[in-house]
A and B are shown apart, each in its own frame.
Chain A
Amino acid sequence: MTVLFIALGAAVGAPARYLTDRWIQRLHGGRFPFGTLTVNVLGSLILGLAAGGTATTTGVYALVGTGFCGALTTYSTFGYETVRLLESRAPRRALANAAVSIAAGLGAAFAGVAIGTAVWH
């Protein structure tokens, strides 16, 4: 059952990342990867909520956490963009992308776990 829940979550999470990134680029269109930043921070918040609200062995966690949040967020795109910014001689944007993504993602994870624990326990 766990595998089925993960597959279901990932089937929605991966295209949701693509569509969100596309939508944010249409709004912004700048040279800073706001789209990936958005999905990574949002996914960290939702995974935090799931981790705070339920045990990692439940079906809800497999569906929402491992499946959906795991596929919604991405380290490969984040790493690739950071290197591409470095390579394109935009070291400040590369550093800002890494620092802001990690700081905001970590903040979202802390907030998510705190809210999840408070609401469901």
Chain B
Amino acid sequence: MRFTRPTPGLPTDSDIDLAVPRQRAEPQWPVLAVISVGGIGGALARYGIGHAWPTPPGDFPWATFVVNVTGCLLIGALMVLVTDLFPHRRLLRPFLGVGVLGGYTTFSTYAVEIRNLIAAGAPATAAAYLLGTVAAACLAVFVGMTAARFVTWLVTA
């Protein structure tokens, strides 16, 4: 089926990809402004989830896991949609992708949590968290992209 194929013109880096001509010429100040505002929204959503769902020391960090995996599901869908359906909405990727989803997901907390699990004497949980997040994140990106490709296929068919 057509929608399972990679989208032509899809960038490799969702934040900024200078191989995409339009992104090289991105108007800097409006782009930076929407990234900043989006980043605030994403970071506060991440804080809210972490606050409502605290992880006791030595336990599997479910809040960060869910934040990162759902963020990956959404970036996969978003990148296909902005490339295929909304190529003229120039601030959509900077706002939702770079700002909201970039501010929402976090690599630094992931790294420090693995470090803390190892330091707390829970290496098995650390390993499960390390591998479980990266596997679930990649699967989520793929599912998001495929779902968005299916929607694009339905809409443009």
Q: Chain A: residues with CB nearer than 8 A to chain B?
A: 2-3, 6-7, 9-15, 17-19, 21-22, 25-26, 29, 31, 33, 35-36, 40, 43-44, 46-48, 51, 65-67, 69-88, 98, 101-102, 105-106, 108-110, 112-113
State the main secondary structure of chain A at its contact with B. helix
Contact A76 B105, beta carbon cutoff 8 Å: yes
Q: Shortest Cβ distance from B138 into chain A, in angstroms?
A: 5
Chain B, residues 101-123, CB within 8 Å of chain A (1/0): the string is: 11111111111101110010000
Contact A43 B108, beta carbon cutoff 8 Å: yes
Contact B102 A77, beta carbon cutoff 8 Å: yes
Q: Shortest Cβ distance from B69 into chain A, in angstroms?
A: 8
Q: Report the interface size for chain B: residues with CB under 8 A from the other chain.
A: 59
State the main secondary structure of chain B at its contact with A. helix
What is the CA–CA distance of A87 and B110 in the complex, to the nearest angstrom?
25
| Chain B neighbourhood of A33, CB < 8 A | 12-13
| Chain B neighbourhood of A83, CB < 8 A | 76, 138, 141-142, 145
Q: Chain B: residues with CB nearer than 8 A to chain A?
A: 6, 10-18, 31-32, 35-40, 42-44, 46-47, 68, 71-72, 74-76, 79, 94, 97-99, 101-112, 114-116, 119, 130, 133-134, 137-138, 140-142, 145
Contact A48 B13, beta carbon cutoff 8 Å: no
Contact B15 A35, beta carbon cutoff 8 Å: yes
Identify the closest chain A residue to B23 (Cβ).
A22
Contact A79 B98, beta carbon cutoff 8 Å: no
| Chain B neighbourhood of A77, CB < 8 A | 13-15, 75, 102
